[in-house]
């Protein structure tokens, strides 16, 4: 029997219950024992109280008291607690399709992957403007099934535990409130030989709260993503000349994206906004070149 641990860092959002209910309903491949680990990162034990108050039959859930206010610390606690060969990171605002687990392992076996990254599709509030739905600004397309990747993220992601432990990989706590810790973690794994692949059929969906639809949040998140990516690439290439080429490339992309954003604004608001996101992403890369600090992305738990 192969033990698979689903790892969830949570501060006790109500959406955690949707996550757990969807996990209870998944089809389990033959010989797989599914366990759920919840790293309770709230000061008040909110996630533990939520799980205790709403037990779900047929789902083995263990809560870990972390209370750090740092998602890297919470994810490292989940790595420590996993007692099987595989761990799957799922966020506490996500829920998964019934065939999700089967599809993740189908991809893993086909490509002998150490890490498999599935899509997380946003579910927007009913009052979301049509143009914003078409822009779909909170969706990141990691690619088709079998696409080789060299970084990753911490949601809807299958990880071979033995590989991580053999290399003593950890999430960097310096990025635990800013974001980018998962980008760095999986980039380090890839550098050390991890076979990371995307799949487009192991589907998770996520709730999008109203406050995340603000232009400021979406564009700030794009800046942060670009900066995290830039820091990762710059760390791998210490040559100052390479840094200059990287900066010039980002600057050129800023110019193109800015021009297209203005042009599309006249007849396609959705495409214009996507170009604004690309502009913000490349501004983030420039922030990395100039060593600007990352803003805190995650709220401290109660």
- Are 125 and 172 contained in the same domain? yes
Closest CA to 169 of 178, 160, 156: 160
Annotate 195-230 with b (16+ C-beta within 10 A) or e (fewer). bbbbbbbbbbbbbbeeebbeeeebbebbbbbbbbbb
Whether 244 is covered by a domain: the verdict is yes
> The domain spanning residue 191 has which CATH number?
3.90.550.10
Q: DSSP state, 70?
A: -
d(CA 282, CA 105): 35
pLDDT digits (tens, 9 = 90+) for 149-171: 999 999 999 999 999 999 999 99
3-class DSSP state of 104? helix
Q: What is the span of the domain harbouring residue 281? A: 225-289
User: Of 39, 14, 41, whose CA–CA distance to 302 is shortest?
Assistant: 41
φ, ψ for residue 4, nearest 5 deg: -120, 125
Position 183 in a domain: yes
Q: Is residue 200 part of a domain?
A: yes
In this prediction, residue 295 has a pLDDT band, given cuts at 50, 70 and 90, of low
- Asked if the structure places residue 137 within a domain, the reply is yes
Q: Are residues 28 and 129 in the same domain?
A: yes
How many independent structural domains does the chain possess?
2
121, exposed or middle or buried, with CB in 10 Å at 0-12, 13-18, 19+? Answer: middle
Residues 253, 105 share a domain: no
Domain membership of residue 296 (yes or no) is no
pLDDT at 232 > cutoff 90:
no
Asked, for residue 220, whether it belongs to a domain, the answer is no
Q: Where are the alpha helices (DSSP H) in the chain?
A: 15-24, 46-53, 71-81, 100-111, 130-135, 161-166, 181-191, 215-236, 240-264, 269-289
The last residue of one of the domains, among 213, 236, 257, is 213
How far is 35 from 82, CA to CA, in rounded Å? Answer: 9
Are both 75 and 128 inside the same structural domain?
yes
Task: For the chain, give the number of residues.
Answer: 302
The answer on 254 and 165 residing in a single domain is no
Alpha carbon distances (Å) from 71 to 55, 96, 169, 301: 25, 21, 15, 10
> What's the average model confidence in pLDDT over 248-254?
97
Residue labelled with tokens 């089967």: 102
Stronger pLDDT, 299 or 148, i.e. the higher one: 148
Neighbours of 295 (CB within 10 A): 14
Q: Of 190, 213, 236, which residue is a domain's last?
A: 213
- Mark whether 104 and 236 lie in a shared domain: no
Residues 83 and 112 both lie in one domain: yes
Considering the domain architecture, whether residues 173 and 44 belong to the same structural domain is answered as yes
Indicate the DSSP class of residue 40.
E
Higher pLDDT, 57 or 241: 241
Same domain (yes/no): 244, 280: yes
Same domain, 59 and 202: yes
Does any domain span residue 243? yes
Q: Is the pTM of this model over 0.85?
A: yes
What are 179-214's pLDDT values in tens digits?
Answer: 888 988 999 999 999 999 999 999 999 999 999 999
Point out the domain boundary residue: 213, 245, 276.
213
Whether 232 and 202 share a structural domain: no
Is it the case that residue 140 has pLDDT exceeding 80? yes
Do 136 and 260 lie in a common domain? no
- Nearest residue to 38 (alpha-carbon basis) of 14, 20, 58: 20
Residue 301 lies in a domain: no
């Amino acid at each position: 029997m192969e033990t698979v641990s689903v790892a969830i860092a949570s501060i006790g959002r109500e959406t955690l219950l949707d996550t757990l209910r969807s996990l209870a309903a998944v089809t389990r491949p033959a010989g797989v024992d599914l366990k759920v680990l919840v790293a309770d990162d709230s000061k008040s034990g909110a996630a533990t109280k939520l799980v205790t108050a709403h037990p779900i039959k047929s789902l083995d859930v263990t809560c870990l008291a972390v209370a750090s206010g740092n998602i890297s610390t919470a994810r490292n606690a989940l790595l420590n607690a996993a007692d099987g060969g595989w761990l799957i990171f799922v966020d506490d605002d996500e829920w998964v399709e019934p065939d999700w687990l089967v599809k993740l392992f189908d991809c893993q076996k086909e490509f002998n992957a150490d890490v498999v990254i599935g899509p997380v599709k946003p579910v927007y509030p009913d009052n979301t403007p049509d143009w914003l739905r078409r822009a779909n600004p909170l969706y990141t397309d990691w690619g088709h099934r079998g696409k080789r990747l060299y970084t990753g993220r911490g949601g809807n992601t299958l990880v071979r535990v033995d590989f991580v432990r053999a290399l003593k990989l950890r999430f960097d706590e310096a990025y635990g409130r800013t974001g980018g810790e998962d980008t760095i973690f999986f980039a380090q794994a890839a550098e050390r030989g991890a076979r990371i692949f995307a799949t487009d059929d192991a589907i998770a969906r996520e709730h999008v709260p109203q406050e995340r639809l603000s232009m400021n949040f979406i564009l700030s998140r794009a800046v942060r993503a670009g900066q995290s990516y830039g820091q990762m690439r710059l760390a791998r290439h210490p040559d100052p000349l390479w840094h200059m080429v990287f900066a010039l490339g980002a600057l050129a992309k800023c110019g193109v994206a800015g021009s297209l954003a203005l042009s599309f604004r006249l007849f396609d608001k959705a495409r214009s906004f996507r170009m604004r996101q690309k502009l913000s992403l490349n501004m983030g890369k420039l922030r990395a070149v100039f060593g600007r600090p990352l803003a805190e992305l995650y709220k401290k738990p109660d």
